[in-house]
Amino acid sequence: MRRRAATSVFLATLLCAAASRAETLNLLIWEAYIDQGLIDRWTQKTGVSIHQINFDSDDARDEVLADPSNNIDLVVVDENGAHLFGKKGVLETLNEANLPALADYAPEWRDRCAGSGLPYFSGTVGILYRSDVIAEPPTSWQELMRPAASLKKHVAMFDDHTELFVPPLMLLGASINTSDTGTLKAAFDLLKAQAPAVLTYDYVITAIQDQTSGKEIHMALGYSGDQHVLNDKVSKPGLWRYSVPREGTLSWLDCVSVIAGSPRKQHALEFLDFIGSPESAAANALALTMPTTSSAALKLLPEAMRSDPEIYPPATTLAKSQYQQELSIQSVQARRRIISTLANFQ
């Protein structure tokens, strides 16, 4: 599934390369992850258009970035990706000289983007659920890993080598960044036992759009904020909800980066500065119902949004959260081998 996703993204990139013009910036990004109104205002202001190319897993995105002929100008990366691809010289080094908007972002956010990205949105990994099927919010990862019999073949997981392992490793009381063979084997055993209940290992926002199986998904592994996208996709406000289990979770940060080798680098930097400004960052957060990382933009948001625990998790939740770190090659390989075998147990 990951290989298919990566291939489709790469083909889209090739098509983009054929059609690319100097006044078009190519943005590699998750689906529905930037306000279209913001893009329209940018294009109206500058005459430079934005062509979005969507990926649905970190692995798929990273395969595109690893290709030097990808023709991408800007990309959304997680904090680990910002560090990794920044260190390799794939991403442009950013500072207040070439990106003035950075002045509105606290040092702790900027440090997590490793000097190679503008802090974008932050959040957690948790359980998405249909409130018309599951009345009570899930409170433990056990409810996803050992779902009720009524949820058999109604669960969507996510075949990414980081996120897929968050539930089992949290249940094991282990680090989500572990490279320990025994711990990964124990996580595999939990995933293998869960597999017969899993309908798909495609990212839920991708899977929900499948006309045949999308309506069969009742519970899923996903990100905070995904519930709003899912509700838009099914045109039923409030149907999908989100819950962070008590055992803890992954606390993530996404960064928007400029490709160092982009022939349209100056326009890319200008676009990044535009979306990072207080007014734009606040408008983007409001449109997507996501938490801004801009200190200046935060002040522009309504109090109801700033106090919403689904958007800004309480301190008790964050206290149990872990951050993503760079995994060893051996750990990544072991995790990918596990993922590739799970379909055998469905």
Q: What pLDDT, in 10s, does the model give residues 86-112?
A: 999 999 999 999 999 999 999 999 999
The tokens for 108 are 């702790």
Confidence of residue 11 (pLDDT cuts 50, 70, 90): very low
User: pLDDT of 250-304, one tens digit each?
Assistant: 999 999 999 999 999 999 999 999 999 999 999 999 999 999 999 999 999 999 9
Is it true that domain 123-250+321-345 has CATH number 3.40.640.10?
no
Q: Give, as one character, the DSSP assignment of residue 326.
A: P
- The two domains 2-122+252-312 and 123-250+321-345 share their CATH topology (first three levels equal): yes
Mean pLDDT of 58-79: 95
Helix (H, G, I), strand (E, B) or coil at 178: coil
9 in Cβ contact with 75 (< 8 Å): no
Confidence of residue 197 (pLDDT cuts 50, 70, 90): very high
pLDDT of 316 reads: 87
Helix (H, G, I), strand (E, B) or coil at 55: strand
Looking at the chain, the whole-number percentage of residues with pLDDT higher than 90 is: 88
Gap between the terminal Cα atoms of the chain: 14
Query: Cα angle at 263 between 261 and 267, to 5 degrees?
Result: 110
311 in Cβ contact with 88 (< 8 Å): no
Q: Which H or E element spans position 231? A: helix 226-234
pLDDT of 107 reads: 97
Alpha-carbon torsion, ordered 176, 179, 183, 186, to 10 deg? 80
59 vs 122, residue with greater confidence: 122
pTM of the full structure: 0.88
pLDDT of 317 reads: 85
Is it true that domain 2-122+252-312 has CATH number 3.40.50.300?
no
The tokens for 142 are 């056990």
Bridge partners (DSSP) of residue 54 are: 29
Confidence of residue 3 (pLDDT cuts 50, 70, 90): very low
**Boundaries of every domain in the chain:** 2-122+252-312, 123-250+321-345
pLDDT of 6 reads: 43
Query: Cα angle at 227 between 198 and 164, to 5 degrees?
Result: 40
Question: What is the DSSP code string of 272-294?
Answer: HHHHHSHHHHHHHHHHHT--B-B
Name the amino acid, one letter, at 209.
Answer: Q
